[in-house]
A and B are shown apart, each in its own frame.
Chain A
Amino acid sequence: MDGTLERGGLAACPACVALPNVGDVAGGAAEKELLISLPEIHCAACIIGVERVLAAQPGVASARVNLTLKRATVEAEEAVQPGALVAALGAAGFKAQELDAGLLSSTEADKAGRDLLMRLAVAGFAMMNVMLLSVAVWSGAEGATRDLFHWISAAIAFPAVGFAARPFFASASVALKAGRLNMDVPITLAILLALGISLYETIHSGAHAYFDAALSLTFFLLAGRYLDFRTRAVARSAAEELAALEVPRAVRIVDGAEETVAVGELAVGDMVVVRPGGRMPVDGVIVEGASELDRALLTGETRPVVAAPGQQVSAGEVNLTGPLTLRVTAAGKDSSLHRMADLVAVAESAKNKYTSLADRAAGLYAPGVHILSALAGIGWYLGTMDARVALNIAAAVLIITCPCALGLAVPAVVTAASGKLFRKGLLIKDGTALERLSEVTHVIFDKTGTLTMGTPEPMNLCDIPERKKRLALSLAMGSAHPLAVALTGALRGEGVLPLPVEGLREVPGYGTEARCKGRVVRLGRAEWVGAEAGDETATWLSVAGEAPVAFTFADALRPGAAEAVAALKAAGCEVELLSGDAPSAVARFAAALGIDSYQAGVLPAEKAALVEALQAGGAKVLMVGDGLNDTAALAAAHASVSPATALDAARVASDIVLLGESVAPVAEAVTTARKAVKRIRENFQIATAYNVVAVPLAVAGMATPLVAALAMSASSITVSLNALRLR
C-alpha cells in the first residue's frame, strides 16, 4: 500500500508519468495472492499494524486485513515466500499462520450469498412499495383509483417475484420432477396462485388483490433462507480454514538432493525425510536414523515409542528426536490415515438418516395444506356454484397457511444458537447437530489430547535433590524432546540454575549425554541409563557411580476439563472416559476429574463398538475426541465434538469443533442445544396456534388481503423475536 502511495507522489511531477516506473518493471513478474490467518487480531490497531508490517516486506504489492474472517490477503510477487511474511508478523508480535488458498473455496459461497441478498433486497423493495399502494386500497380507495393501484402493484409484483422467488421455483420443480413434495411446492403454488388470482381480479376490477401477500411471502421466506445460508457459510468457511492451516508438504530425496513436494505427489518407493517435530506424511518403513515416535493421535498412548531402521510407521505419527528417512509403502488413498477416513464416510452415511425437526414438520405440512385448500375450494364451489369465488378462497387458504413462520422458525433459532456458541469458541458444522446434541444422554471423553493438552508436566520435582535438578536442567536444555522441553520449563520456573557441563550431545532415540567434573551424566530412556523402566512416563538421570533418578511426568489437564465434567453431570448426562493409554494414568485422571466409569487400553475399533453398543441400548452418545483412534467412534456417535488441534480426519468426522483450549464450552453446547430445540418447538407451536386461528377465517371466506398481511407479518415477527431470546 505504501508503495502505491509513493508512486502516486512521484507522478505528481508531470514528466514522471511518461517515464516507465522502475518499480513496475522490476515487479512485472506474475503476481500471486497469499492468504494468512491471524487468529488473535481484534482491533483497529491490529489491522493497521499487520497491514504496515506486510506492506513493508519486499515484493509485497498490497495487503488487506479482513477482521471478520481474521485473515489477511496479500498480493505479492511470485518469489515472495509466505514463511517470510509469517516470520515478519511474528517478530512484530502478531500470531500468524499460512493458509492453503487452494482449499478455501470462499468465492463460490460469496457469490451464492450475494445472490440471495440481492433477491431479498428486491423482494423487500417491491413489498414495501406494493404495501404502500395496498394501504390506500385497504383504507377505502374505490373504482378507477383502486384499479389503477392494483395495476401498478401488478407491474411491480410480477417482475419482482419473477426474480426474487426463483430459488423456490427451482427447488419445487426439482422436487416435483422427482415425484416428491417438499416445503417449496406449497410455497410456489401459493405465490403463483396469489399472483394469478390477483391479476384476474384486477382485470375484472375486483375488490381484493393479493400482490402484497405474494411479495411478503417471498420476502420472509428468503429471509429464512438467507439466515440458513449465513450459518452454513460461516461454519463451512471456518472448517475450511482449519483444514487449510495444515499445508501438507513432505521432503523427498531424489538422487541425493532434497526437494519439498506436496504429499499428493509422493508415490510408493519414494524416499522421504522426516525431521524431528514433523508428522509422518505417509505409511512407510524406516530406512535410516534412530528416533522416538509419538503415537498419541493414533493410539492414545502418551509414552514415546523407539524408532529404528526396519520398523513400520503410519501416517500421522510424530517424529520426536532424530531425523528419519522412510521408504514409502503406501501413499495418498492407500495410507492408513485415508483408510480411516473411508471408515468415517461409511459411519456418516448412517448419521445422515437423521431427519431434522423442520423436515419432519414439512413432511406433514405440505400434503396437509394442499388437501385443506382443495377441500375449501371444492366446498365453496358446491355451495355457491361460482368458480371465481371458490378459487379465491382456495388461494386465500394457501396464502394464509403458507409457512412464513415455519420457514423462519428453524433458521432463526439455529443462527442465534450457533452465533452464541461461536462466541464461546464452538463451531457448529451441521444444521442438525444442535438437535442431535440436545438429545444426548451419555458423554464419552477421550483422554489424550482431549481432556489433556497432550503435553507432559513433571510430577515429582519436590522429591529430587537440588544438585540433580541442576544437572538435569543442563542436560534437558540440549534437547527438543517434549519431555526435556517440559522439564526445562518446569525447572526454570522453579528458579533452578544449570550446572556447567562439557561435551553435551544428543543421542537420537535415547537421550542426552555430557560430562560433568569428569563423570558421564545421562538423561533419557530407562534402558539407556541402566534403570528398570516403570509403568509411568518418565525420563531418567544417571550420574556414573550413582543410582539413577526418575523424573516422572503426567499429561497436563486441559483447562476447563473438571468444569465440563461437573456441568455435564449437572445437566443429567452420564460421563465416561475411554482411553488407549495405560491403566494407571487413566485411573488417576478419572479420579482427578470425578469420572466414575472409565476404561483404559481401548483399541480404536473397540471404542466405536462401545459407542454402538451403548446406542443400541437406547442411549444417545456424545463423543469427544481428537485422535485417529477416535474417528470411528466420533462418526458412530449420535453427536461428536473434537478440538481444533485434532487430526484432520477427526475434525471432519465430528459435528462440532472446539476452537479454544478449554473444554468447558462442551457442557455449554449441550445446554444451549437443549434451549435451542425448546425454542424451535415453541416456534412450531406459535405457527400452529396462528394457523388454528387464521385457517378457519380463510375457509370461511373472511381472509381479506389486510387480514392475510397482518397475520403473516405477526407470526413471522413473533418467531424471530422468540429466536432472539436465545442470545
Chain B
Amino acid sequence: MEILVYLIPISLILGGIGLGAFWWAVRSRQFDDPEGDSQRILSDEWDDHPRP
C-alpha cells in the first residue's frame, strides 16, 4: 500500500496541472472565438509564421 503515497499526490498534481492549464486558457481569451479559431487553422498563411 506504500505505493499510494506516490500515486495519490501524482494524480492530484496531474489534475492540478490540467486545471491550471484550463485556467490559463480561459484567462488568455482562448474561448472567445471558437468558430474563428476552427476556421483559421485552414488558412495557409499562418502555418509557418504564426501570428501573435
A interface vs B, CB < 8 Å? Answer: 1, 4-5, 43-45, 47-48, 65-69, 110, 114, 117-118, 121-122, 125, 128-129, 132-133, 145, 148, 152, 156
Contact = CB atoms under 8 A, between A and B. Distances in A.
Contacts of A69: 33
B27 A114 contact: yes
Nearest to B42: A44
Contact of A67 (B8, B19, B33): B33
Given A47-B40, A67-B35, A114-B27, A121 B19 contact: yes
A110 B32 CA distance: 9
A66 B43 CA distance: 15
A379 to B, nearest CB: 39
Interface of B: 1, 4, 8, 11-12, 15-16, 18-19, 22-23, 26-27, 31-36, 39-43, 45, 49, 51-52
A118 B34 contact: no
A114 B39 CA distance: 23
A133 B23 CA distance: 24
Contacts of A68: 32-36
Contacts of A47: 36, 39-40, 43
Contact of A65 (B19, B31, B36, B49): B36
A48 B15 contact: no
A128 B15 CA distance: 9
Contacts of B16: 125
B40 A44 contact: yes
Nearest to B46: A48
B40 A66 contact: no
Interface-centre pick from A4, A5, A43, A129 (highest chain B CB count, 10 A)? A129
6 contacts: A1-B51, A44-B39, A44-B42, A47-B39, A67-B33, A121-B19
Contacts of A133: 8
Interface-centre pick from A1, A43, A67, A152 (highest chain B CB count, 10 A)? A67
B12 A129 contact: yes
A243 to B, nearest CB: 21
B18 A118 contact: no
A145 B1 contact: yes
A538 to B, nearest CB: 48
A4 B52 CA distance: 10
Contact of B36 (A66, A114, A152): A66
Contacts of B49: 5
Contacts of A114: 26-27
A118 B51 contact: no
